[in-house]
Structure 1
Amino acid sequence: MDELVGELIDTVAWVLIVDGRILCARPSGKEIFYIPGGKREAGESDEQTLVREIAEELTVALVTETVEPVGVYEAVDGTARVRMSCYRAEYRGQLTASSEIAEIAWFGYADRPHVPPVDQLLFDELHTAGALH
């Protein structure tokens, strides 16, 4: 990665694909969509962060015994380097945008320009694998 880039933003994300489309969320006050997830709090594992963030953002409970890694992606976004560790998991409950999420949407590969650079890497890989249409 470019040594001139500033801080590292280390995040985890939940990859949920249904019928060739991936779940994305747009936080309140932002124009861009993201793969749901977020930053860990002190002492949290990736799994703990994922479970907490998804409950906060989408009001569902991830089934912890089904959490499995998808991959780790890194990209420069502005002046920061973003690392996104992605996981799949089953869930319980009804997907609903919380107060911090303005909108949820199901994106296909054509929607790639509407997500940040690190998310675009995931889109590319999923599309190449035939999982994202």
Structure 2
Amino acid sequence: MPGLIDTVAWVYVEDGRILCARPRGKDVFYIPGGKREGAESDVETLLREIEEELTVLLDPATATHVGTYEAGVPGAPDGTVVRMSCWTADFAGTLSASSEIDEIAWFSYADRPHVPPVDQLLFDDLRAAGTLDG
């Protein structure tokens, strides 16, 4: 698909709030994760990106696919779509922002307007499932 941005994201919810990250130099928060490199699997991408961004090691044996979402990309050329494959997984270590990340935050559903459209679809599903607080 031309204009497809293929990403993988880590869904980590604690006490009704989801972990989000703001990359260095950006003013928008995202679900942590990133773009696939080469022939990486979803889980390989997830492990690499989360270690790079949040300095924790995910346990691949606990990785569970929770959904895949697609949406347009504001400010990108017409027809550009981001596909976000979302996974949960247990982790070891202490969550902290790496050199790639300016800030991490815990968002409730009320923070939905502060994330991109593809992330908003995940927020909707988590809210409907009773996982994400209002």
TM-score range, shorter chain: over 0.9
Q: Which residue of 1 aligns with 2:49?
A: 53
For residues 24-63 of structure 1, the aligned pairs below 5 Å read 24-63=20-59
Normalised by the size of structure 1, how large is the TM-score? 0.95
Identity %: 67
For residues 11-30 of structure 1, the aligned pairs below 5 Å read 11-30=7-26
Aligned partner of residue 96 in structure 1, secondary structure = coil
CA distance, structure 2, for counterparts of residue 39 and residue 31 of structure 1: 19
Matched, 1:107 2:107: yes
Q: Which residue of 2 aligns with 1:92?
A: 92
CA distance, structure 2, for counterparts of residue 69 and residue 45 of structure 1: 12
Aligned length: 129
Listed as ranges, the gaps of 5+ residues in structure 1 are none
Q: Which amino acid aligns with 1:20?
A: G
Normalised by the size of structure 2, how large is the TM-score? 0.94
CA distance, structure 2, for counterparts of residue 38 and residue 45 of structure 1: 12
Listed as ranges, the gaps of 5+ residues in structure 2 are none
Moved over 4 A (4+): none
CA distance, structure 2, for counterparts of residue 23 and residue 70 of structure 1: 15
| Cα deviation digits, residues 68-114 of structure 1 (max 9, x gap) | 00000000113320100000000000001000100000000000000
Q: Which residue of 2 aligns with 1:9?
A: 5
